[in-house]
């Protein structure tokens, strides 16, 4: 029973468990690698083991004659492919198109066989001889060669006279801060299944952007986009690694066309370390000038990160300094160093998640230098307007976040002297940091349909990557139509459905949700025009009008940014415990309060923030993709050597949302939260470590040897 004239269900803002939870935990959810196909072949890549040079000789004889082998694709027999523009391509270099090697882990052959085991065996038999060339994979040995890179945002900005303000400032903090290379390590490896029929291609792909995959593959293979269908019903995490289109997706489609049979390629965990990007390390220089009372006079932030020889990727590690704190003079600079590695890519909380490490540790240093409480320092420099652009914020409840989180954490009971708080031989440290994340919005469309049995169907080509979209979108439609959420289902992840943007940039709720809101509102109006009244079964309404269903299309586009600076905010407080004899920091609790617009589903929102907090713990204490500079390769392409937080590393995580509706961000009043939770946690932990030990650490992850002194 649907009653479009009855009071709304008020499904928005109500906690609700995930509607797709049972499918996932029972194994019924179908991921890309689960896709069945008749005569399915399997592909496995053989990879280069040098970082730079060319293939002098490639021996595939043994591989070609191995049991079950159908074809060995190399640069000598792979069809020539068109270059793919970036975005949606993650990197411009397509392997198997020439004998050049640009990074270790670059595919040099694709072995295709009747079974996965046979393909893996054949790939292991491929032998290459190389003409090696000098290489460098360590950008920190080449900082003097840094150049301006072209990417998402303006590289440099300047407001006010930074030199004068710094020279006249009574207090000055000038330090360097470092973060490490990190990898996404999604639970689901990237997977692609390609099938051709009558000149048209269907790709079942583990992606965050079905439309981008369609665009890139069509461009590479020189076919009309309308002849490419991409599906992604579920993706087992991506965190940015599946946001762009990478060579394995294009090569799988091209090889399947040559074979004239379906082909599946699933990357191994080791291959994932070089196949679809990584988060770059950063070298951040902060120069901050302030009055004796802590009032900022100037902030200069400079960032350098590595990128590939063939692409620019800028990790904007000075970005946050442009908008967070009020200062009359602010200067930011971004530079890159080209090295012999694959192209980096966004990773959960790109730019701001890395940028806040340097800025927030530097602010903590300023607080100690000025003799001011860390929280009080931030309040004294609270920005009412964007200090770089002068625009007002679309919404900002950061003051409330400071208050809510500090009260819940018990910050007023902190003894600020380093090493003063302890339990026996365990030193206790309390630290805090601000969180800030840019707001990304994209055009989207959707369709909402009432069916003859009274159920509601949402159709949108968006992707499900674990953020809760299969629950949130039904809540929006249910709220408008006044129906129970259980009566609403969604079809998604398919380029035959209404077009949306990618599921990245914490943009889906705002963008797709606003399109669903529009479609549901239009449908409600059409139902009223058909004479639907309170308590009337809509099946009867449709029958009376001679209809078996009724649909309405909706769309939303953010348009220009306009007169507002748009961000989400948060305040993070962390407690660490450090043993005197074995000084390994252990995080014992984290409290975060967030200003993130209207919260559609508090349950999934809290889950997203808590997941981000876990990422912040990993960034602070565990995660680092170390490279061997003599071999030009990652030391540990696995989860044994690359450490991510386990249950024992994750303490009590408490999440608080400040009440907020941002009418400028979206018609829903919502903003993005998927990445915000990963911002600010790492510097809060680093500041807590200083409070516990008196050792100021300016490099992440924090290692035991840094604290032994």
Q: Is the pLDDT of residue 541 over 90?
A: no
Q: Which residues pair with 453 in a beta bridge?
A: none
pLDDT in tens, 280-302: 999 999 999 999 999 999 999 99
What are phi and psi for residue 576, nearest 5 degrees? -125, 155
pLDDT of residue 534: 67
Q: Is the pLDDT of residue 203 over 90?
A: yes
User: Following DSSP, what letter does each residue of 480-492 receive, concatenated?
Assistant: HHT--GGGEEEE-
* Confidence class for position 310, pLDDT limits 50, 70, 90: very high
pLDDT in tens, 35-89: 999 999 999 999 999 999 999 999 999 999 999 999 999 999 999 999 998 899 9
pLDDT in tens, 471-481: 999 999 999 99
Instruction: Calculate the average pLDDT of the chain.
Output: 96
491 vs 541: which has the higher pLDDT: 491
pLDDT in tens, 636-693: 999 999 999 999 999 999 999 999 999 999 999 999 999 999 999 999 999 999 999 9
* Pairing state between β 296-308 and 329-339: parallel
* Distance linking the first and last C-alpha atoms of the chain: 70
pLDDT of residue 607: 97
* Confidence class for position 8, pLDDT limits 50, 70, 90: low
What are phi and psi for residue 24, nearest 5 degrees? -70, -50
Q: Is the pLDDT of residue 6 over 80?
A: no
C-alpha–C-alpha distance, residues 692 and 689, integer Å = 5
366 vs 562: which has the higher pLDDT: 366
pLDDT in tens, 450-460: 999 889 999 99
Q: Would you call 541 exposed, middle or buried from its count of C-beta atoms within 10 A (0-12, 13-18, 19+)?
A: buried
Per CATH, the architecture of 442-556 is what? 2-Layer Sandwich (3.30)
What is the mean predicted confidence (pLDDT) over 303-314?
A: 97
This model's pTM is above 0.85 = yes
Active site (catalytic) residues: 675
Q: Is the pLDDT of residue 266 over 80?
A: yes
According to CATH, the topology of domain 372-440+561-709 is Aldehyde Oxidoreductase; domain 4 (3.30.365)
pLDDT in tens, 390-441: 999 999 999 999 999 999 999 999 999 999 999 999 999 999 999 999 999 9
Q: Which residues of 368-400 are buried (b: 16+ CB within 10 A; e: fewer)?
A: bbbebbbbebbebbebeebbbeeeebbbbbbeb
C-alpha–C-alpha distance, residues 197 and 652, integer Å = 52
* Confidence class for position 186, pLDDT limits 50, 70, 90: very high
Fold matches, 372-440+561-709 and 442-556: yes
What is the mean predicted confidence (pLDDT) over 205-211?
A: 98
Q: Is the pLDDT of residue 622 over 60?
A: yes
Give the CA radius of gyration of the chain.
27
Q: Is the pLDDT of residue 3 over 80?
A: no
Task: Give the start-to-end residue ranges of the domains of the chain.
Answer: 372-440+561-709, 442-556
pLDDT of residue 152: 83
The owner of tokens 């307007």 is 385
3-state secondary structure 169-235: CCEEEEEEEEECCECCCCCCCCEEEEEEECCEEEEEECCCCHHHHHHHHHHHHCCCHHHEEEECCCC
DSSP 8-class letter at 278? -
pLDDT of residue 2: 41
pLDDT in tens, 146-159: 999 988 899 999 99
Peptide bond into 272 cis (omega under 30): no
3-state secondary structure 422-475: EECCEEEEEEEEEEEEECCCCCEEEEEEEECCCCEEEECCCCCCCCCHHHHHHH
C-alpha–C-alpha distance, residues 189 and 175, integer Å = 39
Percent of the chain topping pLDDT 90: 94
């Amino acid at each position: 029973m649907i009653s479009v004239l009855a009071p709304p269900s008020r499904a928005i803002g109500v906690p609700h468990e995930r509607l797709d939870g049972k499918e996932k935990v029972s194994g019924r959810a179908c991921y890309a690698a689960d896709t069945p196909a008749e005569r399915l072949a399997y592909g496995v890549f053989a990879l280069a083991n040098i970082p730079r040079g060319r293939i002098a000789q490639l021996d595939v004889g043994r591989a070609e004659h191995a049991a079950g082998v159908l074809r060995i694709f190399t640069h000598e027999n792979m069809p020539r492919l068109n270059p793919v523009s970036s975005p949606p391509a993650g990197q411009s270099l397509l392997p198997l198109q020439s004998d050049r090697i640009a990074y270790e882990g670059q595919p040099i052959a694709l072995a295709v066989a009747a079974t996965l085991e046979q393909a893996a065996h054949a790939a292991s038999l491929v032998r290459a001889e190389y003409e090696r060339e000098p290489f460098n994979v360590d950008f920190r040995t080449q900082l003097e060669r840094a150049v301006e890179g072209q990417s998402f945002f303006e590289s440099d900005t300047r407001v006010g006279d930074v030199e004068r303000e710094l020279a006249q400032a009574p207090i000055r903090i000038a330090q360097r801060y470092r973060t490490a290379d990190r990898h996404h390590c999604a639970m689901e490896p990237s997977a692609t299944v390609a099938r051709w029929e009558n000149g048209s291609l269907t790709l079942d792909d583990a992606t965050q952007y079905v439309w981008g995959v369609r665009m890139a593959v069509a461009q590479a293979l020189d076919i009309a986009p309308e002849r490419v269908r991409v599906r992604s019903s579920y993706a087992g995490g991506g965190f940015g690694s599946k946001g762009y289109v990478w060579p394995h997706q294009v090569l799988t489609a091209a090889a399947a066309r040559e074979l004239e049979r379906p082909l599946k390629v699933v990357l191994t965990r080791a291959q994932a370390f070089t196949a679809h990007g990584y988060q770059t390390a950063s070298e951040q220089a902060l120069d901050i000038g302030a009055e004796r009372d802590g009032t900022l006079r100037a902030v200069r932030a400079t960032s350098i990160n590595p990128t590939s020889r063939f692409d620019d990727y800028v990790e904007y590690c000075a970005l946050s300094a442009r908008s967070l704190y009020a200062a009359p003079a602010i200067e930011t600079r971004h530079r890159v160093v080209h090295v012999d590695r694959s192209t980096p890519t966004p990773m959960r909380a790109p730019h701001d998640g890395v940028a806040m490490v340097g800025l927030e540790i530097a602010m903590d240093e300023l607080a100690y230098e000025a003799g001011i409480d860390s929280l009080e320092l931030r309040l004294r420099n609270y920005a009412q307007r964007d200090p770089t652009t002068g625009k007002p914020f679309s919404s900002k409840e950061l003051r409330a976040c400071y208050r809510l989180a500090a009260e819940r954490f018990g910050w007023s009971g902190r003894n600020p002297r380093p090493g003063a708080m302890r339990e026996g031989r365990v030193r206790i440290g309390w630290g805090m940091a601000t969180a800030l994340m840019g707001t990304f919005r994209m055009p989207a469309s959707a369709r909402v349909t009432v069916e003859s049995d009274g159920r509601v169907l949402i159709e949108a080509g968006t992707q499900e990557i674990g953020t809760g979209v299969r629950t949130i979108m039904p809540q929006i439609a249910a709220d408008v139509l006044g129906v129970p959420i259980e009566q609403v289902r969604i079809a998604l992840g398919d380029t035959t459905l209404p077009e949306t943007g990618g599921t990245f940039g914490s943009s889906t709720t705002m963008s797709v949700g606003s399109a669903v809101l529009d479609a549901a509102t239009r449908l409600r109006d059409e139902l009223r025009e058909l004479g639907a009244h309170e308590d009337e079964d809509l099946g009867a309404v449709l029958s009376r009008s001679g209809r078996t269903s009724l649909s309405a299309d909706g769309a939303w586009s953010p348009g220009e940014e306009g007169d507002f600076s748009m961000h989400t905010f948060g305040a993070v407080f962390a407690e660490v415990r450090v043993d005197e004899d074995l000084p390994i920091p252990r995080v014992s609790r984290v409290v975060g309060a967030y200003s993130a617009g209207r919260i559609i589903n508090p349950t999934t929102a809290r889950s997203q923030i808590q997941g981000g907090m876990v990422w912040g713990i990993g960034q602070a204490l565990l995660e680092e993709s170390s490279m061997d500079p003599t071999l030009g390769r990652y030391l540990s392409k696995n989860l044994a050597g690359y450490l991510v937080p386990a249950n024992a590393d994750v303490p009590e995580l408490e999440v608080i949302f400040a009440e907020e509706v941002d009418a400028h961000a979206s018609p829903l009043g919502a903003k993005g939260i998927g990445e915000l939770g990963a911002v600010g946690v790492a510097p809060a932990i680093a500041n807590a470590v200083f409070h516990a030990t008196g050792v100021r650490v300016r490099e992440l992850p924090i290692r035991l040897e840094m604290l032994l002194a």
